[in-house]
Amino acid sequence: MKFFIDTADLEEIREAHDMGVLDGVTTNPSLMKKASQRAGRRLDFHQHIFDICELVDGDVSAEVTGVTYAAIMEEAKALAAIHSNVVVKVPLILDGIKAINSLSKLGIKVNCTLCFSPTQALIAAKAGATYISPFLGRVDDMSADGMQLLQEVVTIYANYGLETQILAASIRHPVHVVKSALMGAHVATMPLGVIKKLLLHPLTDRGLKQFLTDWDQYKQTPR
């Protein structure tokens, strides 16, 4: 399973990258706003995406904000020209699906975002999306089951050998990651906090403490 970090914050990306387990990055307009607020100034979108791409050797999703076919195509081409790592994020709307079809024919990689149903995922794959992003946490927020959505997408894609990669998004906690991995999602994109939680276990901490205590006592034992 590939691990992507879901942030536009360069410091967070650097921290995850330093762990040596980072395969890519996903950003969106809200995350650009957050990173700009943290920086105390409006970050230049294209420059910022370039900076992320220079840092991480993997797919970096950058989202369009146009909602018409023409606007999406224009923005997508400009974003794809920033760096070979860029994957253009396109919303799952009618004009977005049309654009995904055209972009895939141009060889531009697309992450189809804001997926909340299996039929949306099926259409995105048929249109040629490189990635589909089911939003697990936001489905859960509606008192529905994000993991059931993911399972349905996994099954439908497997039934027809669809090549679109399943990118589990809107991940809120490690159980989302475990269940996504068990279902065979290709990618999990998650905030830095969730990446860090993946390696936590109190028995590891307790065991290490005991080992170090015993090691000290071992060293104090006369030869």
Chain positions contacting ligand G3P, by CB under 6 A:
6, 26, 28, 135, 137-138, 169-170, 189
Q: Which residue has the tokens 């860090």?
A: 196
Q: Which of 33, 26, 207, 50 is nearest to 134 (CA)?
A: 26
- How far apart CA 147 and CA 62 sit, in angstroms, is 25
Minimum CB distance to ligand G3P, residue 217 (Å): 47
Minimum CB distance to ligand G3P, residue 200 (Å): 20
- Confirm whether 2 is a catalytic residue: no
Residue of 33, 89, 105, 197 marked catalytic: 89
Residue nearest to ligand G3P (CB): 170
Q: Which of 146, 153, 143, 152 is nearest to 177 (CA)?
A: 146
Task: Between 131 and 135, name the residue whose CB sits nearer to ligand G3P.
Answer: 135
Task: Between 11 and 201, name the residue whose CB sits nearer to ligand G3P.
Answer: 11
Return all residues near 5 (Cβ < 8 A) that are at least 6 apart.
12, 13, 16, 22, 24, 25, 26, 189, 190, 191, 192, 195
Side chain identity, residue 80? A
Q: If DSSP codes are grouped into helix, strand and coil, which group holds residue 61?
A: strand
Contact 61, 87 (CB under 8 A): yes
Minimum CB distance to ligand G3P, residue 84 (Å): 21
Minimum CB distance to ligand G3P, residue 138 (Å): 5
Task: Between 11 and 214, name the residue whose CB sits nearer to ligand G3P.
Answer: 11
Task: Between 102 and 183, name the residue whose CB sits nearer to ligand G3P.
Answer: 183
DSSP class of residue 169 equals B
β-pair partners for 208:
none
Task: Between 194 and 208, name the residue whose CB sits nearer to ligand G3P.
Answer: 194
Minimum CB distance to ligand G3P, residue 159 (Å): 26
Return all residues near 188 (Cβ < 8 A) that are at least 6 apart.
1, 2, 3, 4, 167, 168, 171, 176, 177, 180, 181
**Residues taking part in catalysis:** 89
